[in-house]
Structure 1
Amino acid sequence: MSGRVILVVGGSSGICNELAKDLIAGGDRVIVTSRSQATADAVAAELGPNARGIALDVSEPEEIAGRLASVEQLDGLVLGAIERDANTIREYDIARARRLITLKLIGYTETVHALLDRLTPSVDTGIVLFGGRAKDAPYPGSTTVSTINGGVDGLMNTLAHELAPIRVNSLHPGIIGDSPFWAGKPEGVLAGYQGRTPGGELATMADIVDAAKFLLFNRGVSAHSLNVDRGWRIT
């Protein structure tokens, strides 16, 4: 056992659930969140005795502090709660945009604020903010997503200054071929994306897990924005 306790916001599913599994396998204790307490508890039970679940919706920032009141001292924090959105300028949906902006920029920030008294003030403590490659690889309908993921890097920089010696980094996945979202696409959808990487293969969830652990635990890395996409779009 490492003795470390890591909170993984969004750890009940997808890539962040894979990260939670890996951290536990390495000897860490993990707290995972879901919007539903029942889901959080079920996922924690699947992860085993070194996991527990908390109900948390970071798109409702006024409730975050209360939801996190039971969290003990932390050695790391991963903010990976996301929602997908296609919101074009011609058919702009203000409510959807507001929710997504609140979730990532205000929700992430308030989560850190609420936990400041329990984040060990040490260079060994890492915070990882999940963004995405849409920040500099836009697509039709990505206005909100691209803007927010760019904002994640701005948030990372300010937090790295204010919270030092705690380290703060951001992680921007590209198209993750074996993630639940992409693996379920119809046959042939991923082929065009694969052809745009130098090796003809897309990044995997294991690649993201390794990157997240690097940013969490490497004592020499702070205020770093890391793209993980196997060189997508350089060919």
Structure 2
Amino acid sequence: MTDRTIVVVGGTSGIGLELARDVIARGDRVVLTGRSAEGAAEVAASLGEGAASIALDISEPESIAGQLAPLGDVHGLVLAAIERDANTVREYDIARARRLVTLKLIGYTEVIHTLLDRLAPVRSTGIVLFGGRAKDAPYPGSTTVSTINGGVEGLVRTLALELAPIRVNGIHPGIIGDSPFWAGKPAAVLDGYTSRTPGGELATMADIVDATQFLLRNQGVSGTNIDVDRGWRLT
């Protein structure tokens, strides 16, 4: 086990959990967060002695500093906490829109702001923000999600400039076939996306984990947003 600690915000399920597992497999320590202290602790315990947990709700940004106070030095930070929402302009729900904007654009930024005194100002320190392909591949009801993920893309660039030599990058997953959200979809739904993916196979959680680790570790990459969708955008 190394002395490196990677914090995964939103690491109790889905891609965040797979990333936490991979962090430990590579010999680093992981601190994962979830809204429930008990739930996060249970997940961390299942990962073994290299994992710890902390309760954190980034949709309530005023509470973030206090919730993150117990953390020590951080060598890598992944902001993978997301929520899904369908919110059209014709039936616009202000409360839902406000929550998502707060969670990602304000919550992500406040987490970074809070941890700056624990993130070493060196090139080996990496921060990765999760956006999504809806930023440039909208769908009916994606008005809020597309706007926010476009904001994440811009946020990556300004943070990379402000925080250098700390590196900041963004990852934008497409349809992830084996993720909890997509794996349970009817075959007819997935077939429509699969048929448009070069090679005929959707991206996987392992693809996202691998790309995230690349952005965390490669010291030549900063201010970059990458799409992980196996070329779906080409069609």
**TM-score scaled to structure 2, two decimals?**
0.99
Equivalent in the alignment of 2:173: 173
1:219 to partner: Cα distance:
0.3
Equivalent in the alignment of 2:210: 210
1:116 to partner: Cα distance:
0.4
Structure 2: distance between partners of 1:16 and 1:44: 12
Deviations 1:143-202 (A, max 9, x none): 000000000011111110111000000000000000000001123210110011110110
State how 1:187-202 maps to structure 2 within 5 Å.
187-202=187-202
3-state SS of paired residue (2:33): strand
3-state SS of paired residue (1:32): strand
Structure 1: distance between partners of 2:116 and 2:157: 17
1:2 to partner: Cα distance:
2.8
Aligned length: 235
3-state SS of paired residue (1:92): coil
Deviations 1:190-228 (A, max 9, x none): 011001111011000000000000000000000000000
3-state SS of paired residue (1:215): helix
Structure 1: distance between partners of 2:113 and 2:102: 15
1:75 to partner: Cα distance:
0.4
Letter in 2 for 1:7: V
Q: Does 1:118 align with 2:81?
A: no
Equivalent in the alignment of 2:154: 154
Deviations 1:109-165 (A, max 9, x none): 000000000001110000000000000000000000000000001111111011100
Q: Does 1:131 align with 2:131?
A: yes
Structure 1: distance between partners of 2:144 and 2:131: 12
Letter in 2 for 1:213: Q
Letter in 2 for 1:50: G
3-state SS of paired residue (1:128): strand
**TM-score scaled to structure 1, two decimals?**
0.99
Equivalent in the alignment of 2:17: 17
Structure 2: distance between partners of 1:182 and 1:43: 22
Structure 2: distance between partners of 1:209 and 1:45: 21
Structure 1: distance between partners of 2:188 and 2:88: 25
3-state SS of paired residue (1:188): helix
Unaligned runs of 5+ in 1: none
Structure 1: 4+ residue segments shifted above 2 A: none
Deviations 1:35-55 (A, max 9, x none): 000011000000110111111
3-state SS of paired residue (2:121): coil
Structure 2: distance between partners of 1:198 and 1:9: 32
Unaligned runs of 5+ in 2: none
Equivalent in the alignment of 2:35: 35
The percentage of aligned residue pairs carrying the same residue is 73
Letter in 1 for 2:87: N
